Chain A
């Protein structure tokens, strides 16, 4: 027993020593670097979108650093980001936020991917008064909690598909439509659902199928079988990348005919590439599209951003990457206007943000959400086997006419 006791004492003192040696934390601004922290989903169910987000951040960091960096009090600084992998898990994300702030000494945060993870991190950043500019947490409830240090460059999730319902009603001669909807059980998709409920109420539409889909969904055949039976006017599906891919795969397999199909995350899922003609006519909500005519001096236009991104990472940038890049432009702008590294000064500068980026106009509302930028809808259209996303709404940016209704599968080649 005696020796075992000794063993334990040795064991615990070893741990104590290890902890003490780990305790050295470094500061928010190190030499010529401004250190930002971010927990990103590199593994788990959000890994593909997590990587889009990370690529967006990295692209902007490189670009800003190359073009002179951030000037504060006459000195030039460069951005640097510390990443951790949150494994698409809110629990892990909250813990990592704490770690970034307390152990790595990070004073400014960039958001994670998805609303759920942002919801987990926001209480932590709020507690320590750390300004966080996030680009991928769209859930409306993030902006009703009275958070003072949270800033989102994107439009809230409930706005994603409201426009699609309006469009369907318009095509139906102003009369209400029958809506079938299926949403993943996560914070973001459920918020999109709330938006649809509002729109349905407003337009006198009727919701005839209202299904919940499991997380990490790979199968929604049950919903689609119902859709086949009751023939709604619109089918709305939201469940991140996997939801979009699953929906198109099974709709085409089961040959489900529906006049209008509205979804989210089509571009992140690279639908037009992965499913080609099967995905044609799908209507998608997006925060951004490269054809929009916004501009800034770092990335030029959306088209130029898309080209540079393609060169760097080998694929067309989804809006998740674009908005993530925009988050860094916002930070740079705020640092320069604050002309200080004081967290509260930076926070106050963020509140007053009013700028145009290649991604869109950015101005924060009282809850921290971006109020200056509308959502857009695009539709997948094909020429031969070559499919791409074309903007159809709002009319100001539309490059193509909205094609309605979707031809039946029996008539499609």
Chain B
């Protein structure tokens, strides 16, 4: 047991060192690496619902978008009149000082974590009674509705979009912005991973699994399934909100349907990444997101105009050949490496029976 833990320790410290060194090693790729961190966070949190709880949600994009708008609004609203900032024709230019910028984004991220969590609780209470496809379709509607509503709210820029505060000009180093957002997202990734890993070792995960495998039985055993479903969703919302807040600052421009409540891309990607890597596993979403991001960044520009066709093919390939994801496939192939013991006699007996 001790030995295994030591191996883990080496692996994790290796990864963290790699993560910390990455922006210096691959300076030109900072933005892509930041995206990667955020994608992993989204895939891991989706996995809590889709993989562990068996509730395929398309609604996590709601929290991501909320986090984005909240961070930017707080960051501006703390120091300047928000309505004047977002009003497109505004002739005034507001400039954040360095302290204002960081104070703003700090408080903004805090709000971006808390409010989506509360909203997840409220919405969860209303709709987590739905099961299966009904829940999926309902959450799909949430994201779309949020995008349309945000596109009509003047104070956050409505259809004009919302330009987030530019990085303080007093910091002359052109690399500073990239580094700042990278480390922010990396910290979020580490936090999310630690949290999810903690859940994986807890009774909470078993309850989520029980809900997935047979909700009625779980309820009959005295588990208050509703409570756990809501708490599970609130956990995801917390991290999705933070991810959104970071992305908003990084992208610099928030559009209601294309950037914030971007169900068509981010909302689908997070599901796809989790399934690609293997849902219901700790490492699956991490590997899925990493592979997906590399596929996307590496190949998409080579097949200009055809990338969505390629993505469609990828989805088909995943679903047909790796229905359980890469981790599931590996597990089937090398069960002993996952600590599963196979009774050879039993297996032979079964083969003979056939």
Q: Give the B-binding residues of A (Cβ under 8 A).
A: 1-5, 7-9, 11-12, 15-16, 18-20, 22-23, 25, 42-43, 83-85, 87-91, 94-95, 98-99, 102-103, 116, 119-120, 123-124, 126-129, 139-141, 144-146, 158, 183-187, 189-191, 194, 212, 214-215
Whole-angstrom CA separation of A139 from B255 in the bound complex: 14
Q: Could you tell me if B337 and A186 are in contact, using CB atoms closer than 8 angstroms?
A: no
Binds A, one of B7-15, B125-133, B216-224, B341-349: B7-15
Q: A158–B87 Cα gap in the complex (Å)? A: 14
Instruction: Give complex CA distance A84, B158 in Å.
Output: 28
Question: How long is the Cα–Cα vector from A408 to B7 in the complex, in angstroms?
Answer: 81
Note all chain B residues with C-beta closer than 8 A to A145: 93, 163
Given A23-B26, A189-B159, also A123-B93 (CB < 8 A) = no
Q: Are B163 and A42 in contact (CB under 8 A)?
A: no
Give Cα distance in the complex from A212 to B151, angstroms: 9
Q: Contacts A95-B35, A116-B258, A145-B163; is A84 near B251 (CB within 8 Å)? A: no
Which chain A residues border B294 with CB–CB below 8 Å? 15, 18
Q: Which residues of B contact A191 (CB under 8 A)?
A: 88-89, 160
Residues from 160 to 215 in B contacting A, C-beta threshold 8 Å: 160-161, 163, 166-167, 174, 177-178
| A119/B253 contact (C-beta < 8 A), A11-B287, A83-B304 known | yes
Write the chain B residue with the least CB distance to A195. Answer: B89
Q: List 9 A-B contacts (CB under 8 A).
A: A5-B7, A89-B262, A90-B258, A94-B250, A116-B255, A119-B161, A127-B167, A158-B89, A186-B159
Smallest Cβ distance from B27 to chain A, in angstroms?
8
Closest CB of chain A to B31's CB: distance in Å?
4
Q: How far is the CA of A176 from the CA of B112 in the complex (A)?
A: 47
Chain A interface helix/strand/loop/mixed: helix
The 5 residue pairs across chains A and B that have the minimum distance between CB atoms? A185-B159, A141-B88, A123-B252, A120-B253, A102-B28
Task: List, in ascending order, chain B residues with CB within 8 A of A186's CB.
Answer: 159, 161, 255
B11 close to A103 (CB less than 8 A): no
Q: Mark B288-324, 1 if CB is under 8 A from A, else 0.
A: 0010001000101100110110000000000000000
Q: How far is the CB of A173 from chain B (nearest CB, A)?
A: 30
Could you say which of A15, A23, A91, A140 contacts B262, with CB atoms under 8 Å apart? A91
Measured between C-beta atoms, what is the minimum distance from B221 to chain A in Å? 31
In Å, the complex CA distance between A194 and B86 comes to: 14
A215 touches B337 (CB 8 A): no
Which residue, A98, A128, A129, has most C-beta atoms of chain B within 10 A?
A98
Which residues from B are CB-within-8-Å of A5? 7-8, 10-11
| CB proximity of A122 to chain B, nearest CB, Å | 8
Considering the chains assembled together, what is the distance between the CA atoms of A7 and B151 in angstroms?
46
A144 touches B90 (CB 8 A): yes
Known pairs A9-B14, A12-B15, A20-B26; A85 contacts B304 (CB<8 A): yes
Question: Within the complex, what minimum Cβ distance (angstroms) separates B43 from chain A?
Answer: 16
Among B7, B26, B251, B307, the residue within 8 A (CB) of A94 is B251
Total number of residue pairs linking A and B with CB closer than 8 Å: 166
List 12 extra interface pairs beyond A5-B11, A120-B252, CB under 8 A.
A1-B7, A3-B337, A5-B7, A43-B305, A88-B258, A90-B255, A123-B252, A123-B253, A126-B166, A158-B89, A186-B161, A190-B159
B339 smallest CB distance to A (angstroms): 7
Contacting pair A185 B151 (CB below 8 A): yes
A85 to B311, CA, bound (A): 15
CA distance A215 to B294 in the complex (A): 30
Which residues does chain B contribute within 8 Å of A116, judged by CB atoms? 161, 253, 255, 258
Tell me the complex Cα distance, A85–B301, Å.
Answer: 7
8 A Cβ contacts from B228-281 to A? 247, 250-253, 255-259, 262, 265
A105 CB, min distance to chain B CBs, angstroms:
9
User: Which of B26, B91, B174 sits near A144, CB closer than 8 Å?
Assistant: B91
B18 an interface residue at 8 Å Cβ cutoff?
Answer: yes
Alpha-carbon distance between A23 and B29 when the two chains are bound, in angstroms: 8
- Once the chains are docked, how many angstroms separate the CA of A90 from the CA of B159? 13
A402 to chain B, nearest CB (A): 28
Q: How far is the CB of B126 from chain A (nearest CB, A)?
A: 25
Q: For B298, what are the chain A residues with a Cβ–Cβ distance below 8 Å? A: 18, 22
The reply to whether A190 and B158 contact each other, CB–CB distance below 8 Å, is yes
Please determine whether A141 and B304 come into contact, CB atoms closer than 8 angstroms: no
| Minimal Cβ-Cβ distance residue in A for B36 | A15
A250 and B152 CA atoms in complex are apart in Å by 24
Is B159 a contact of A4 with CB atoms below 8 Å?
no
Q: Is B93 in contact with A146, judged by CB distance below 8 angstroms?
A: yes
Q: For B152, what are the chain A residues with a Cβ–Cβ distance below 8 Å?
A: 185, 212
For window 19-35 of B, CB contacts with A under 8 Å fall at 25-32, 35
- Cβ of A375 to closest chain B Cβ, rounded Å: 17
- A98 close to B31 (CB less than 8 A): yes
B93, A4: Cβ atoms under 8 Å? no
Compute how far the CA of A395 lies from the CA of B100 in the bound complex, rounded to whole angstroms: 51
Inter-chain CA distance A190–B161, complex, in Å, is 10
Closest to A4 in B: B337
Shortest C-beta distance, B257 to chain A (Å), equals 6
- In the complex the two chains form, is B253's CB within 8 Å of A90's CB? yes
Q: Are B283 and A8 in contact (CB under 8 A)?
A: yes
Q: How far is the CA of A4 from the CA of B338 in the complex (A)?
A: 8
Whether A194 contacts B89 in the complex (CB less than 8 A), given A95-B32, A187-B161, comes out as yes
**Chain B: CB-nearest residue to A198:** B89
Check B290–A15 contact: CB distance below 8 A.
yes
Q: Which residue of A lies closest to B26 (CB)?
A: A19
Min C-beta distance of A109 to chain B, whole Å: 15
In angstroms, how far is the closest chain B Cβ from the Cβ of A345? Answer: 19
